[in-house]
């Protein structure tokens, strides 16, 4: 077994990993708000991501909206979807809520696949990123002028982590407010929070709507990164990767989300540079086995996650 260290040392590799890790960090901040701070088992986050990405692309391609307005509107549409889905499902709890959110995400995926005149179906949508490409070229020219490199993906890397930083600052600030303390009270004991006069359903709905907005922003960035939107980009695996990020980073830690995402995607991408003396059809399986072993080792060393606390490991109903 050998490892291509040259490829791992290349700036393009780390910028590519950083972009995907940043996108999943934004995506997982919403899951952290739901799972780690409110006690909502939201397994439909990928559906909100799809709503945001498709809404942005459709507004740009079909209605010729400027990109900034399309991004803002797509975020609002995803929040509205979160409110609608939450109104129908948040009175459920535990496994029933998880199944309802999974079903909602599957519904979004089904619409994206079958509403071909609007969404492009399995062929997808492309050409929505012209405005971003122009902005990226301008940013890259400015970066080159000050000697900060010429990697073509660097502008998206900067924008992605800037958005994550803003979202992190906002959620960290909200955590210490009365609103944030009510969310924690709901997670710890929903009945007790209701007995104190708090509208538990309304707070849960707000938490889900904010998570949907974060998923939409992550979906917009993913769409810019892959330059083609198609239903398989937003499969249930996306949400499960988000939960892996939560476990690695630690429940209840917003900053841990970034650490978990960077670790996960570094290991996933680095595994592709492991060279094995095996048939091609077996290499991918062994590479994923290596990824699994590395992640298991991390969880044995830090079962509460990189930034988590042991008391946060049990999700109370």
- Is the distance from CB of 43 to CB of 105 less than 8 angstroms? yes
pLDDT of res. 284: 67
pLDDT of res. 135: 95
Going from the C-alpha of 275 to that of each of 1, 4, 46, 269, 295, the distances in angstroms are 6, 7, 32, 13, 20
pLDDT of res. 172: 94
pLDDT of res. 278: 63
Going from the C-alpha of 291 to that of each of 10, 234, 237, 287, 288, the distances in angstroms are 21, 22, 16, 6, 5
pLDDT of res. 268: 84
What are the tens digits of pLDDT across the range 51-95? 999 999 999 999 999 999 999 999 999 999 999 999 989 888 778
Give the residue ranges of the chain where pLDDT is below 70. Answer: 1-5, 276, 278-281, 283-284, 287, 310-317
Going from the C-alpha of 267 to that of each of 182, 260, 262, 275, 295, the distances in angstroms are 37, 11, 9, 15, 8
pLDDT of res. 98: 87
pLDDT of res. 178: 94
């Amino acid at each position: 077994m050998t490892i291509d260290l040259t490829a791992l040392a290349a700036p393009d590799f780390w910028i590519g990993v950083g972009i995907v890790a940043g996108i999943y960090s934004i995506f997982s901040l919403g899951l952290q708000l739901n799972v780690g701070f409110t006690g909502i088992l939201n397994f439909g986050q990928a559906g909100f991501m799809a709503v945001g990405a498709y809404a942005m692309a459709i507004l740009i391609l079909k209605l010729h909206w400027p990109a900034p307005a399309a991004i803002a509107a797509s975020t609002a549409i995803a929040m509205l979807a979160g409110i609608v889905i939450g109104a129908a499902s948040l009175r459920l709890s535990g496994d029933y809520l998880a199944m309802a959110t999974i079903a909602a995400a599957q519904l979004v995926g089904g619409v994206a696949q079958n509403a071909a005149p609007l969404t492009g179906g399995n062929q997808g949508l492309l050409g929505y990123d012209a405005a971003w490409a122009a902005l990226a070229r301008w940013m890259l020219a400015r970066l080159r002028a000050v000697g900060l490199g010429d990697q073509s993906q660097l502008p998206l890397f900067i924008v992605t982590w800037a958005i994550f930083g803003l979202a992190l600052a906002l959620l960290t600030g909200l955590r210490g407010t009365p609103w944030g303390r009510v969310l924690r009270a709901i997670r710890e004991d929903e009945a007790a929070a209701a007995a104190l006069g708090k509208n538990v359903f309304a707070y849960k709905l707000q938490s889900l709507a904010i998570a949907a907005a974060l998923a939409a922003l992550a979906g917009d960035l993913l769409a810019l990164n892959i330059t083609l939107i198609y239903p398989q980009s937003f499969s249930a695996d996306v949400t499960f990767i988000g939960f892996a990020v939560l476990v690695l980073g630690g429940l209840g830690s917003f900053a841990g989300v970034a650490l978990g995402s960077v670790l996960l995607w570094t290991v996933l991408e680095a595994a592709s540079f492991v060279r094995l003396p095996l048939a091609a059809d077996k290499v991918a399986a062994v590479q994923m086995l290596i990824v699994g072993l590395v992640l298991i080792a991390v969880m044995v060393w830090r079962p509460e996650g990189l930034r988590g606390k042991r008391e946060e490991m049990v999700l109370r109903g």
